[in-house]
Amino acid sequence: MSWWRDEAREPLRRNLGLVGVLLALFAIGAFIRPELYGDPKWVTNNVLVIMTQAAAVGVVAIGMTFVIIGGGIDLSVGALIALCGVWATTYATQSYGTVGMIFTALAVGIGAGAVNGLLVAYGKLVPFIATLAMLVAARGLAAQISGKQTQISNDAFINSIATTRILGIPMLVIMLLVVAALGWVLLNRTTFGRRTIAVGGNPEAARLAGINVRGHTLALYALSGLCAGIAAIMLTSLATSAQAAAADLYELDAIAAAIIGGTLLSGGRGTIVGSLLGVIVFSTITNLFAIANLPTEVQNMVKGAIIVTAVLVQQLRFDSVTKFARRHGLTRAGAPPEAAAATPAP
């Protein structure tokens, strides 16, 4: 009865909403191309295609979710993917073999993320500015390293990741799900996650509770950089190459996914599942447009409309709850009647 008003259930309601959107998109697809959607084999395969396309963005969206919950934003993730990919595929790095390449991608990601974190936490730069500067600089460095050439990956193992399937499920999809699962545990079951929520929800309260706010902020950006490094390996595997222009605008997709997944841009609240669903929704739309043979320009317009609609619906719902609460004499938005009744008792 009251579960729809219970604040703690809000993420669940939102995620159910996104599942509803996915079902609606599926229904639209089935309406446009009934002959394809009638074939279970095709449908299964298509779902895996959607998930594969979502994989790299999904991984950075998980990192992005942590940064946003922690009260920041990371505009540099797309550029970091390019930088990590290029750095990991130079002749020099490739000479160290698979381990050397993977290590380089991850280390460059963490390092660049840590620089973001240092600028934000200790240099007191606004996250938007610090990571925007990193975006520009990382693209520049990637172009410098690669000489603006596409660098071919000769590593058999890395190239095979994108083509490997385990129990019929593509390796990239498994990687996304593993990262998401680890992210979920990290956010919901560890002290790191608890600190993230505290630091983003009320930095002053966190500070006065003795939490190392700056150190934690630094760690969050490093985590986002790590995710960019993982995504770089995935993209390099998909393309069997890396280039400075790779992963263009991934940061916007990742931010949009987190937002429609219910992560508050002001920090303190968000879910891993929501961000994952957000990425899948965008990927499904791309897929749907391909199936319907519509141009990508229209697709981008629809994406924009979806982001706006999602945020509007979010506000609308909040307003209506507030109004409902007021009409029923509740003191605060969403305050259950028992709490209000308990107040005046001496």
Partner 1 sequence: MSELLMDAPASGAQEAGEVVLRLSGVVKTFPGVRALDGVELEVRAGEVHCLLGQNGAGKSTLIKVLAGVHRPDEGRVEWLGEQVSFGSPQAAMKAGIATIYQELDLVDYLSVAENVYLGHEPRSLGFVQKGTAARQTRELLGRLGHGEIPARRLVRSLPAAGKQIVSMARALSHEAKLIIMDEPSAVLAHDEVGNLFRIIRELTAQGIAVVYISHRLEEIREIGDRVTVLKDGRTSAVNLPARTTPTRDLVSRMTGRSIEYVFPPRAQQEPGEKEHGSSRPAAAQAAGQGTPHVPLLTVRGLGRTGEFADVDLDVRAGEIVGIAGLVGSGRSELLETVFGARTPDAGTVAVGGRPLPPGNVAAAVRAGLGMAPEERKSQALLLGEPIYRNMTLTTFSGFATAGFTDAGREQAEAMKIADLLELRPRDVRRAVRTLSGGNQQKVVVGRWLLGGTRLLLLDEPTRGVDVGARAELYQVIRGLADQGVGVLLVSSEVPEVLGLSDRVLVMREGRVVHTAPAEGLAEEDVLDLVMAGSLTATDERTEEQA
| Six token digits for residue 59 | 């991984």
Tokens 């043979």 -> residue = 293
Nearest-approach distance from CB 181 to partner 1, in angstroms: 15
**Cα 211-216-221 angle, rounded to 5 deg:** 165
Burial of 269 (0-12, 13-18, 19+ CB in 10 A): middle
Nearer to partner 1, 9 or 165 (CB): 9
Residue found by looking up tokens 């008792």 in the block: 345
Give 292 or 341: the residue with its C-beta nearer to partner 1.
341
Tell me: does residue 47 bind partner 1 (CB under 8 A).
no
The piece of 142-150, 162-170, 208-216, 305-313 that touches partner 1 (CB under 8 A) is 208-216
Terminal-residue alpha carbon distance, the chain: 29
Contact 80, 88 (CB under 8 A): no
Among 102, 106, 110, 198, binds partner 1 (CB under 8 A): 198
| Helix H or strand E encompassing 328 | none
Give me the torsion for CA of 222, 225, 230, 231, rounded to 10°: 150
Determine contact, residues 270/65, Cβ cutoff 8 Å: yes
Q: Which position among 23, 129, 181, 209 is part of the footprint of partner 1 (CB under 8 A)? A: 209
Contact range with partner 1 by CB under 8 A, out of 48-56, 101-109, 200-208, 299-307: 200-208
Contact flag: residue 214 with partner 1 (CB under 8 A): no
72 neighbors 267 (Cβ within 8 angstroms): yes
Nearer to partner 1, 111 or 334 (CB): 334
- Of 244, 242, 233, 78, whose CA–CA distance to 147 is shortest? 244
**What does the block give as tokens for 214?**
């700056």
Q: Which of 72, 320, 50, 302 is nearest to 176 (CA)?
A: 50
Distance CA 95, CA 32 (A): 50
Query: Is there binding between residue 100 and partner 1 (CB under 8 A)?
Result: no
229 binds partner 1 (CB under 8 A): no
Q: Does residue 168 interact with partner 1 by CB under 8 A?
A: no
Confirm or reject binding of residue 211 to partner 1 (CB under 8 A): yes
Q: List the beta strands (DSSP E) in 22-94.
A: none
**Residue 202, φ and ψ in degrees, nearest 5:** -160, 85
- Number of chain positions touching partner 1 (CB under 8 A): 36
Q: Which of 24, 178, 182, 208: binder of partner 1 (CB under 8 A)?
A: 208
Amino acid at 294: L
7, 39, 248, 319: residue in contact with partner 1 (rule CB under 8 A): 7
> Does residue 201 touch partner 1 according to CB under 8 A?
yes
Shortest distance (Å) from residue 213 CB to partner 1: 10
Residue 1 or 8 with smaller CB distance to partner 1? 8
The least distance separating partner 1 from the CB of residue 196, rounded to whole angstroms, comes to 12
Compute the least distance from the CB of residue 340 to partner 1, in Å. Answer: 8
**Which of 206, 233, 257, 258 touches partner 1 by CB under 8 A?**
206
- Interacting span for partner 1 (CB under 8 A) from 43-51, 127-135, 249-257, 335-343: 335-343
Contact residue for partner 1 among 268, 270, 274, 278 (CB under 8 A): 268
Binding site for partner 1 (CB under 8 A): 7-8, 189-194, 197-198, 201-202, 204-212, 268-269, 331-336, 338-339, 342-346
